[in-house]
């Protein structure tokens, strides 16, 4: 059975937007991990992850967010997560990720959040 996972990276107002589609599980999470790592290597620490088309996430996918968030925030950046469908949001909530991560409605709102935390002000 194919794992329908698609990852697209773009840029909007100087902010990296990683768009995920399909299943983010132990099979596909390494691709997401590589993508975040490569942005960090380029010194890009303001990242929006657009989950509008993400239909499933397991702890392997959540672990990617967890692994990098501290380093990203230390660099005055953040990962804003947007567009969660109810099923995916539920998995975030099971583990309390909604208390740690900034979950917003859409890419536009996420980009605006970054605009509000300029002047070297990292997320809490």
Partner 1 sequence: MPPIERKFTLHVPSSTENLALIREFVSSIGAQAGMNDQEVANIELAVDEACANVIEHAYGHDVTKEVVVRAILDDDTLWIKVEDTGRGFDPDAVGEEDLPHLIEQHKSGGLGMRIMRTVMDEVRYEIVPGQKNELHMMKKIQKSRKTHE
Build a one-symbol-per-residue string for 89-108: x at contacts with partner 1 by CB under 8 A, - elsewhere. Answer: -xx--xxxx-xx--------
**Per rule CB under 8 A, is residue 26 in the interface with partner 1?**
yes
- Pick from 25, 31, 109, 123: which binds partner 1 (CB under 8 A)? 25
CA distance 43 to 52: 26
> Considering beta carbons, is residue 62 or 107 the nearer one to partner 1?
62
Rounded to whole angstroms, how far apart are CA atoms 114 and 41? 20
State whether residue 55 is helix, strand or coil: strand
What is the smallest separation between the CB atom of 7 and partner 1, expressed in angstroms?
16
Q: Is 39 exposed, middle or buried (0-12, 13-18, 19+ CB in 10 A)?
A: buried
Pick between residue 1 and residue 119 the one whose CB is nearest to partner 1: 1
Element (H, E) at 8: strand 5-12
Please give the backbone phi and psi of residue 107, each rounded to the nearest 5 degrees, phi first: -60, -40
- Residue 58 sits in the site that holds partner 1 (CB under 8 A): yes
- Rule CB under 8 A: which residues touch partner 1? 1-3, 23, 25-27, 56, 58-60, 62-63, 66-67, 69-70, 87, 90-91, 94-97, 99-100
């Amino acid at each position: 059975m194919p794992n329908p996972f698609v990852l697209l990276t773009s840029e909007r107002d100087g902010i990296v937007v990683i768009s995920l589609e399909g299943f983010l599980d132990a099979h596909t999470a390494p691709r997401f991990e590589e993508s975040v790592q490569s942005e960090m290597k380029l010194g890009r620490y303001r990242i929006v992850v657009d989950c509008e088309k993400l239909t499933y996430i397991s702890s392997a996918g959540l672990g990617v967010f967890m692994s990098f968030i501290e380093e990203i925030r230390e660099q005055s950046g953040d990962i804003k997560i947007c567009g969660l469908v109810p099923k995916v949001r539920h998995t975030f909530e099971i583990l309390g990720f909604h208390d740690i991560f900034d979950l917003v409605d859409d890419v536009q709102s996420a980009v605006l959040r970054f605009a509000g935390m300029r002047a070297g002000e990292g997320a809490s």
